[in-house]
Every structure is written in C-alpha cells, then in structure tokens.
C-alpha cells in the first residue's frame, strides 16, 4: 500500500514520500534507491497552483530587486554568469594545459630514462673496449717488447756478455790483447775442480784408513805398507806446503802492487792540491800588487783623463760643481715664483669666469622656476574650471532614483 509522510509543502515542492509496507510478500526496503526516491506527479488544486505561481513570482521579484539594488551591476552592467563561465572555461583550459604538460613531462622522463640506459650501455661498451685495449697493450705492446728495448734496458750490463770471456774470445783480435786487473774468468771451473779434489781427498783418506785397519788386523807386511803410506803422506804434505807458500807469495805480490797503486794515486791527488794552492797564491799576489785594484795608478796622461783609472774629482772641481748647483737652485726658485704668480693670475681669471657663469645659471633657473609656477597656476585654474564643468554635467545628465520609484515594486501579485 502507498502512504505519504506527514509534512508541509515548501515553494510548491512536494516532500519526498517513503514507501512503507510490502506487496506480494516483497519488502519495498530492498528496492534500489532510484525506485525508492521516485514519486508520482502531484495532483494540485487550483488554490495550490495559484499559491505556487505567487511564490514563483515573488522569488523572481526578489532576484530582480537584488539585481537593481546592486549599484555596481546596475551602473557597469557586468554579466557575472558570463564572467563565471569564462573563469570556468579558463580554469578548464588551464587544467587541460597542465594535464598536457604533465603528460609531456612523463614522456620526457621516459625518454630520459631510455637515453640514460643507452648512455650506460654505451659507456659499458666503451669501458670494455678500453679494458681490452689496455690488456692488449700490457701483453703485446709493453716496454720490453719494443725494438729499441736493448738501448733502454736498465739491466743491460747484467744481461750482457763481458768484454772478454777468455784468451780464445773471437771478439778480441790481436789489437785487443789485454788482461784486466782482478780478472778471474776460470772461477767457476776452479771452484768445481776444488770441490771435486776435496771430495776425492776425503774419499782417499777414508780408503787409506780402511786399508790401515785391515792391515792392522792381518799383521802381515803391514809395517812396510804403513811406512810407504807415511812417505807418500809426507810428500803430499810437502807439495801442499809449497803450493800454500807459492799462493802466499802471489798474494803478497798483489798486495804490494795494490799498495804501490794506492801511493801513486795519493801522490797524484797531492800534486793536484799543490797545483791549486800555487794557482791561488799567484792570484792573491796579483790582487795585492795590481795598481788598478789598489787604486794607486796614474789617472791622467797628457792632461787627459784615463777612463779606466779615474777614481774621482779633485777638491777644486767639487767646489766649482757646488757653486754651479747653487746657481741652478736660485734659478729654479725664480722660475717657481714666476710660475706661481702666473698660476695665481690664471686661477683668479678662472674664478671670475666661474662666478659669472654661476650667476647666469642662477638667473636662468630663476626664470625657469617663474615660468613653471605660471604654468602650474594656469593648470590649477584650468583644472578648477574643468571640475566645475564636470559637476554641472554630472548633475545635468544624472538619473537619480527617488524612494517612490522603489515603493512601486512588491505591492501586489501579477
């Protein structure tokens, strides 16, 4: 069933009615809001229709009064709705431009990201290429693999072959017969032979001790063999002593040669020192006896000054120069006084001219000021006349509203 909620009508509008109850077991509360808010067209009587029409006319009259009483809108005639529409249109265009700018910015960001990725990839490829070039340079183009490395090798002397490796060296011809002091080309071979001889001697001694031990056990013919061994041992010891004596003699000879060479080098150094001392002594003697350095040589020859021996003027010459200088000082003072008088006269002339020009400039400024004051007075007079004319015209062409004009509105219903 249908039931309308209790209420009053406001400005001809019917209050929304709610559906209450059910139909065929269906609850109306479960219907959609669009159906619940629906209502039929109200059936109004003639009095209600007249009331609605009067209320509509009164509302229109109130809106018209608001427009009339708005002095700004009445005098200027601004259409606020049109202006609001323009403002809304401008705001919409502004929002559209802002959206377009935002989309453009997003596109630029995406493009920037892509360019950054491309740049990163390009830098990575360049870095890989540079690493490859660097590794190839280190492996194949290093300093040691150059053609001229033997000229710049700091260890070339150590790696090189000595100037002479023996008496049969093919690089040394007949003109290169020499033997350097301290040369020992057979050191390695001699060391090897000495080690082999030491090993052989130790093994021989072990063998002899073993033989002596066997002979001592058998006690047959051992004494004669022991005597032979002792003789051989004595002979070997004698040979070794001779070798030691010969080696000592050679070492002594080398020592004497070294001492002689050292003494010779010391004599050469002492000779150089003595030569330097003699040269220094000769130079000091020359400085002591030279007439030019001691300033005792003749300064004139045939009444003419010797330029490289002249050391200064005499007293008479200095007195004459002093008199000339005093005369020049007096002349300079006279010139200064004359210049000062000329400058003072010129300054007085300049000052008089300046004063005359200042007086002329002040008179010109005074005349200009009088002219500006006259123009200002004329402008004030013209302004007053124009203002009076404007007031007269405003009063003549102004439409004034009297209270009776507004009292005729709202007195009845149309």
Q: How far apart are CA 94 and CA 86, in angstroms?
A: 12
Residues 254 and 283 in one domain: yes
pLDDT exceeds cutoff 70 at 17: no
Q: What is the DSSP string of 27-44?
A: EGGGS-HHHHT--PPP--
pLDDT band at 277 (very low <50, low <70, confident <90, very high): very high
> What are the tens digits of pLDDT across the range 324-371?
999 999 999 999 999 999 999 999 999 999 999 999 999 999 999 999
Residues 305 and 323 in one domain: no
What are the distances in angstroms from CA 381 to CA 119, 378, 395? 79, 5, 21
What residues pair up with 22 in beta bridges, in sequence order? Answer: 27
* Residue 24 maps to a domain: no
| 3-state secondary structure (DSSP) of residue 305 | strand
Q: Last residue of some domain: 310, 334, 356?
A: 310
Q: Supply the range of the domain harboring residue 88.
A: 83-139
pLDDT exceeds cutoff 60 at 312: yes
* Residue 267 maps to a domain: yes
Q: Outline where 141-186 has alpha helix (H).
A: 149-152, 156-159
pLDDT band at 3 (very low <50, low <70, confident <90, very high): very low
Q: How far apart are CA 60 and CA 411, in angstroms?
A: 14
The answer to whether 11 touches 52, Cβ cutoff 8 Å, is yes
Q: Give residue 334's pLDDT.
A: 94
The answer to whether 7 touches 51, Cβ cutoff 8 Å, is no
Cα dihedral 107→111→117→123 (10° resolution): -150
Phi, psi of 41 (to 5 degrees): -65, 130
Mean pLDDT score, 9-36: 52
pLDDT band at 10 (very low <50, low <70, confident <90, very high): very low
What are the distances in angstroms from CA 94 to CA 81, 99, 101? 19, 8, 10
Most confidently modeled range among 105-114, 170-179, 180-189: 105-114
Residues 299 and 322 in one domain: no
Q: Give residue 176's pLDDT.
A: 65
* Residue 76 maps to a domain: no
Residues 340 and 271 in one domain: no
Residues 243 and 263 in one domain: yes
Residues 301 and 391 in one domain: no
Q: In terms of pLDDT, which residue wins out, 304 or 4? A: 304
pTM here is 0.23
Number of structural domains found in the chain: 3
* Residue 5 maps to a domain: no
* Residue 413 maps to a domain: no
Q: Outline where 290-314 has alpha helix (H).
A: 291-294
Residues 243 and 305 in one domain: yes
* Residue 210 maps to a domain: yes
| 3-state secondary structure (DSSP) of residue 26 | strand
Q: Last residue of some domain: 310, 327, 362?
A: 310
> What are the tens digits of pLDDT across the range 106-152?
999 999 999 999 999 999 999 999 999 889 888 888 888 888 887 88
Neighbours of 53 (CB within 10 A): 13
pLDDT band at 36 (very low <50, low <70, confident <90, very high): low
* Residue 122 maps to a domain: yes
Residues 280 and 298 in one domain: yes
Residues 305 and 364 in one domain: no
Residues 245 and 274 in one domain: yes
What residues pair up with 23 in beta bridges, in sequence order? Answer: 26
Q: Last residue of some domain: 284, 310, 336?
A: 310
Q: How far apart are CA 279 and CA 283, in angstroms?
A: 6
The percentage of residues in the chain with a pLDDT greater than 70, rounded to a whole number, is: 82
Residues 322 and 266 in one domain: no
Q: Give residue 411's pLDDT.
A: 72
pLDDT exceeds cutoff 70 at 5: no
Q: In terms of pLDDT, which residue wins out, 76 or 171? A: 171
Residues 119 and 135 in one domain: yes
pLDDT exceeds cutoff 80 at 228: no
Cα dihedral 389→390→396→398 (10° resolution): 180
* Residue 320 maps to a domain: yes
Cβ partners under 8 Å of residue 225, min gap 6: 211, 215
């Amino acid at each position: 069933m249908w039931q309308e909620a209790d209420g009053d009508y406001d400005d001809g509008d019917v209050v929304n009615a709610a559906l209450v109850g059910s139909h065929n077991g269906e609850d109306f509360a479960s219907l959609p809001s669009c159906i619940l808010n629906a209502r039929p067209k109200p059936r109004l009587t003639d009095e209600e229709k007249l009331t609605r029409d009067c209320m509509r006319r009164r509302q229109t009259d109130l809106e018209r009064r608001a427009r009339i009483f708005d002095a700004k809108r009445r005098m200027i005639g601004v259409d606020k709705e049109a202006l609001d529409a323009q403002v809304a249109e401008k705001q919409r265009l502004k929002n559209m431009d802002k959206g377009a700018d935002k989309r453009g910015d997003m596109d630029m960001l995406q493009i920037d990201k892509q360019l950054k990725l491309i740049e990163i990839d390009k830098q990575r490829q360049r870095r890989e290429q540079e690493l490859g070039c660097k590794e190839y340079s280190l492996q194949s183009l290093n300093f040691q693999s150059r053609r001229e490395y033997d000229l710049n090798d700091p260890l070339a002397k150590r790696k090189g072959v000595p100037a002479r490796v023996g008496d049969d060296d093919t690089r040394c011809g007949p003109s290169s017969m020499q033997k350097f002091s301290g040369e020992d080309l057979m050191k390695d071979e001699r060391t090897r032979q000495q080690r082999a001889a030491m090993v052989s001697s130790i093994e021989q001694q072990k063998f002899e001790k073993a033989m002596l031990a066997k002979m001592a056990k058998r006690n047959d013919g051992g004494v004669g063999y022991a005597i032979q061994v002792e003789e051989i041992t004595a002979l070997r010891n004698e040979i070794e002593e001779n070798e030691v004596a010969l080696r000592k003699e050679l070492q002594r000879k080398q020592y004497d040669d070294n001492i002689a060479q050292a003494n010779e080098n010391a004599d050469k150094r002492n000779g150089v020192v003595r030569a330097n001392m003699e040269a220094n002594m000769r130079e000091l003697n020359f400085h002591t006896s030279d007439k030019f350095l001691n300033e005792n040589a003749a300064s004139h020859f045939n009444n003419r000054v010797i330029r490289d021996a002249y050391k200064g003027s005499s007293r008479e010459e200095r007195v004459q120069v002093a008199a000339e200088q005093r005369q020049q000082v007096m002349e300079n003072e006279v010139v200064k006084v004359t210049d000062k008088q000329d400058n003072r006269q010129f300054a007085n002339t300049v000052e008089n001219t300046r004063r005359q020009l200042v007086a002329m400039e002040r008179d010109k400024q005074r005349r200009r000021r009088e002219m500006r004051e006259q123009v200002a007075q004329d402008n004030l007079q013209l302004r007053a006349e124009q203002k009076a004319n404007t007031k007269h015209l405003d009063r003549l062409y102004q439409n004034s509203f009297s209270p009776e004009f507004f009292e005729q509105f709202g007195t009845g219903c149309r």
